[in-house]
């Protein structure tokens, strides 16, 4: 036991499951992020115009409109009723994320995610302290503030500072000094607050989280009985508080991670050597007994503190 827990995070999974199984969702996620940026860059860089526009709104193969519902919502609060194209685009995007998990946007699409992931990786490497940790629900306050300012000023407020569009639009249409916003997020996550931006403040993540509150696709700790308390899943999860209720629940509690903060990144599935976690639906009722003996009761307070 103590021998396995002393291994670096994820090492045990590599030893037991092989390299691919221990990294597959991380790799798929990076591929997806590169894809969603690359597909937009094909036009300006290679002259292949499959997709035009940016994450705010795009047109694929000259037929499929996609629009960011959060941007459109701000515009509507600012009292502009958009044309049908934008509404249809926002509905398609909205319904898709409502089904697969709102924060799938965060872990699989958003271009800021690799930035904050890098900041977190460096943060760990350098052994920095956690730093300022605002409450998890701060992002909902920020979201409310953004919507209020949009309504009050009659403009799409978050787009004035949104590091996501600064980076995405910047790469596709020209950056100017927009990189300063991206750098600010990186530095904030590195030295001020561990996982501070995506985990506590970003109103876009908050919006998509709310959007995906009832999503079908979920991660479940189905085989939680086999958990050996290595804590690796807590170490890699960007929203670690979501794991505890599912993993540490009693027999009667669902093993499904139902918190809308979960980004469906699947990294917990990767790093878990006994393969406790798996992707499933929220309706999955496979019986999932709790761990027979709570082997590491001493550890629990630590886990919840980390959350």
CB of 44 closer than 8 Å to CB of 270: no
User: Which among 156, 182, 165, 178 has a CA at the least distance from the CA of 77?
Assistant: 156
* Number of residues near another protein (by CB under 8 A): 58
Binding partner at 288 among another protein, ligand SF4, none, C-beta below 5 to 8 Å by kind: none
CB nearer to another protein: give 81 or 283. 81
Does position 163 interact with another protein (CB under 8 A)? The reply is no
Tell me the DSSP string of 142-157: HHHHHHHHHHHHTS--
Q: Which x/- pattern over 31-50 shows residues binding another protein (rule: CB under 8 A)?
A: ------------x-----x-
CB of 235 closer than 8 Å to CB of 9: yes
Binding partner at 80 among ligand SF4, another protein, none, C-beta below 5 to 8 Å by kind: another protein
Tell me the DSSP string of 208-263: HHHHTTT-SEEEE-TTGGG-----HHHHH-TTGGGHHHHHS--TTS--B---TT--
Name the CA dihedral angle for 92, 93, 95, 101, rounded to a multiple of 10 degrees: 160
Binding partner at 119 among another protein, ligand SF4, none, C-beta below 5 to 8 Å by kind: none
Does position 145 interact with another protein (CB under 8 A)? The reply is yes
> Which residue in 10, 102, 163, 170 binds another protein (CB under 8 A)?
170
Alpha-carbon distance values, 10 to 2, 233, 237, 262, 305 (Å) = 15, 9, 12, 20, 21
Site residues for ligand SF4, 154-213, by CB under 6 A, read: 164, 198, 202, 204-205
> Which residue in 106, 172, 219, 227 binds another protein (CB under 8 A)?
172
Q: Kindly indicate which of the ranges 102-110, 128-136, 149-157, 226-234 contains the residues binding ligand SF4, using the contact rule CB under 6 A.
A: 102-110
Q: Which residues bind another protein (CB under 8 A)?
A: 43, 49, 52-54, 56-59, 65, 67-68, 71-72, 75, 78-83, 85-86, 89, 134-135, 137-138, 141-142, 144-146, 148-149, 152-161, 165-166, 169-170, 172-178, 180-181
């Amino acid at each position: 036991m103590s021998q396995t827990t002393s291994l670096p995070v994820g090492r045990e999974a590599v030893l037991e499951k092989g390299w691919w199984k221990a990294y597959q969702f991380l790799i798929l996620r990076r591929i997806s992020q590169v894809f969603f940026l690359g597909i937009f860059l094909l036009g300006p860089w290679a002259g292949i115009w499959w997709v035009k526009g940016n994450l705010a709104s795009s047109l694929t193969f000259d037929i499929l409109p996609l629009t960011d519902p959060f941007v459109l919502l701000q515009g509507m609060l600012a009292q502009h009723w958009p044309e049908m194209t934008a509404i249809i685009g926002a509905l398609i995007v909205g319904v898709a994320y409502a089904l697969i998990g709102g924060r799938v946007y965060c872990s699989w699409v958003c271009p800021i995610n690799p930035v904050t992931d890098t900041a977190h990786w460096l943060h760990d490497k350098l052994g920095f302290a956690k730093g300022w940790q605002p409450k998890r629900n701060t992002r909902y306050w920020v979201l409310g503030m953004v919507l209020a300012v949009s309504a009050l000023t009659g403009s799409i407020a978050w787009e004035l500072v949104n590091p996501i569009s600064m980076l995405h639009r910047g790469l596709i249409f020209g950056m100017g000094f927009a990189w300063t916003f991206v750098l600010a997020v990186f530095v904030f996550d590195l030295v001020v607050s561990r996982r501070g931006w995506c985990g506590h403040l970003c109103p876009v993540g908050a919006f998509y989280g709310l959007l995906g509150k009832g999503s079908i696709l979920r991660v479940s700790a189905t085989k939680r009985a086999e958990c050996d308390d290595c804590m690796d899943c807590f170490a890699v999860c960007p929203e670690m508080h979501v794991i505890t209720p599912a993993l540490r629940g009693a027999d009667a509690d669902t093993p499904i991670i139902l918190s809308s903060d979960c980004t469906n990144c699947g990294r917990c599935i990767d790093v878990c050597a006994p393969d406790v976690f798996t992707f499933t639906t929220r309706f999955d009722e496979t019986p999932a007994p709790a761990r027979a003996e709570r082997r590491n009761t001493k550890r629990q307070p630590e886990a919840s503190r980390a959350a």
